[in-house]
Amino acid sequence: MKAGYAQNIITPSLGRPIYLAGFGNNRRAETIHDDLYVRAIAVQDDNSTLVLVALDLIGFFRHDVYEVMETLKVFELFRALDPKVVIASVHPHHGPDTMGLWGPDDKTSGVDADYLSAIKNKIVNVILDALSNLNSASVKTTSVHVPGLTKNARNPEIMDHELTLAQFMTMGDKPMTTLFNFPCHPEVLWEHNPHITADYVGYLRDEVEKQTGAPCIFFAGGLGGMLTPDVKDHSFEEAEFMGKKLADEGIKALSSTPVKSNQLSVIDIKKHLLAAKLTNPLYKVAFRRKLLPDARNEKGQIESEVNLIKIGDLWLATVPGELLPKLGLRLKAQLLKSGAGVAGIIGLANDELGYILPVDDFKYPWNPFKPGKHYEETNSIGKEIGVKVMDAFDELLPGDKYV
């Protein structure tokens, strides 16, 4: 197996208004607390090449992903290796609006077209750099439960505390890159924070890199629900504590995990296309106001995808939005039953369709502006998407339909 890594800073300039995404309108960035990044890990075996990209952004739509893919096709290296690519958003709530919902008011997009174009160019270059830096590697994979840092604001009794891990090693058994995957919104800082930051994720990566001497890439898990940091003051101190705690627990788990035999490091990725009816009236208003791109097909459906990734015994399910933990726990159990040694979910992957709920929990509120316990429904394309995502993995995975 071979692995390669690259990264670049995507922090926006404050020379023009930057509208922070994730809470309400007109949250203007005042300072830069820490930089935002695009990071990519490329892995390759004799038959397949895969690139996983993590963006410190609230979301990145499918048409943006495929615009990047079209640009990559002009490069000989990309055509020669023909890699499968997954571009996933980390979902921090203190970065620029890249979707359109958090501008100066509810009728004006917060997207800076020039910034978005520059990001796409940086993603292209980082993917190419990762593919150019492939070196012989081995991998160790494991997971550990880290309770006490997060809560489920929707259904407190349903929790996923699992931290999924992979560490790619040089042939001299030194860390090359460490992958962390955890299901929690990067929103320790709250709606009144005016500083650009990657939140706890930034502290996590810094600590991992300090302890290992190698870069760290982080992917959000199934963080719907609403899986959020369990903090009191929404402070940078709390973000630092959370990030360093996750880093410490992850490194400790990896330190006691043996390197997998290189013969077992088989890489595979399978895609399954899906289409789900868009029924959310708020999204339809956003289309009319040109806040969101109207991606509906002639049947009123949104087309998207899931992917099943295998890196040795690590199986990762990618989903095009924010999967609620009830579905996330079921999906990870299904991965393990189907043959995974370690299971994880990469959320907001190759799309961002909002929350992905179990159909039996979905109840659209009578007044979406006062949703009560059903906030997630007002930020979902509709009731069908949860069914379509889980049905897609039923097709990709062997064994019984439900576990």
Lowest mean pLDDT among 236-245, 254-263, 359-368: 254-263
What tens digit of pLDDT does each residue of 190-239 get? 999 999 999 999 999 999 999 999 999 999 999 998 999 999 999 999 99
Q: Kindly tell me if the per-residue pLDDT of 295 is higher than 80.
A: yes
How many angstroms separate the CA atoms of 209 and 215, rounded? 5
Inter-axis angle of helices 325-338 and 384-396, nearest 10: 10
Q: Do 36 and 56 contact (CB within 8 A), yes or no? A: yes
Measured over the CA atoms of residue 287, residue 292, residue 293 and residue 299, the dihedral's sign is: negative
Q: The tokens of 333 are what?
A: 């159990």
Residue of 26, 31, 38 whose CA lies nearest to 14? 31
Q: The tokens of 294 are what?
A: 């109207």
Q: Kindly tell me if the per-residue pLDDT of 263 is higher than 60.
A: no
What tens digit of pLDDT does each residue of 264-282 get? 568 999 999 999 999 999 9
What lies within 8 Å, CB to CB, of 51 at 6+ separation is: 40, 41, 42, 83, 84, 85, 86, 127, 130, 131
Query: Average pLDDT for residues 141-149, to the nearest whole number?
Result: 98
Ranges of each domain in the chain: 1-403
Residue 402's pLDDT is what? Answer: 41
For 158-211, where are the E strands, in sequence order? 162-169, 175-182, 195-196
Mapped onto helix, strand or coil, the DSSP state of residue 246 is helix
- Which residues share a beta bridge with 88? 54, 349
Q: Kindly tell me if the per-residue pLDDT of 400 is higher than 60.
A: no
Residue of 337, 342, 343, 346 whose CA lies nearest to 389? 346
Q: What is the DSSP string of 186-239?
A: S-SS-TT--EE--THHHHHHHHHHHHHSS-EEEEE-S-TTTEEE--SS--HHHH
For 203-253, where are the E strands, in sequence order? 216-220, 227-229
Alpha carbon separation from 220 to 71, 104, 228 (Å, rounded): 26, 27, 12
222 burial (CB, 10 Å; 0-12 / 13-18 / 19+) is: buried
Helix (H) or strand (E) holding 84: strand 84-89
What tens digit of pLDDT does each residue of 338-394 get? 999 999 999 999 999 999 999 999 999 999 999 999 999 999 999 999 999 999 999
Residue of 179, 227, 210, 199 whose CA lies nearest to 39? 179
Residue 264's pLDDT is what? Answer: 54
How many angstroms separate the CA atoms of 263 and 257, rounded? 17
Q: Do 128 and 222 contact (CB within 8 A), yes or no? A: no
Residue 259's pLDDT is what? Answer: 86
**pLDDT over 90, % of the chain:** 95
How many angstroms separate the CA atoms of 232 and 230, rounded? 7
- Which residues share a beta bridge with 20? 96
How many angstroms separate the CA atoms of 310 and 23, rounded? 35
How many angstroms separate the CA atoms of 138 and 312, rounded? 10
Query: Average pLDDT for residues 273-296, to the nearest whole number?
Result: 97
Q: The tokens of 382 are what?
A: 């509709």
Q: Do 355 and 276 contact (CB within 8 A), yes or no? A: no
Q: The tokens of 3 are what?
A: 């692995």
Q: What is the DSSP letter of 34?
A: S
Residue 403's pLDDT is what? Answer: 38
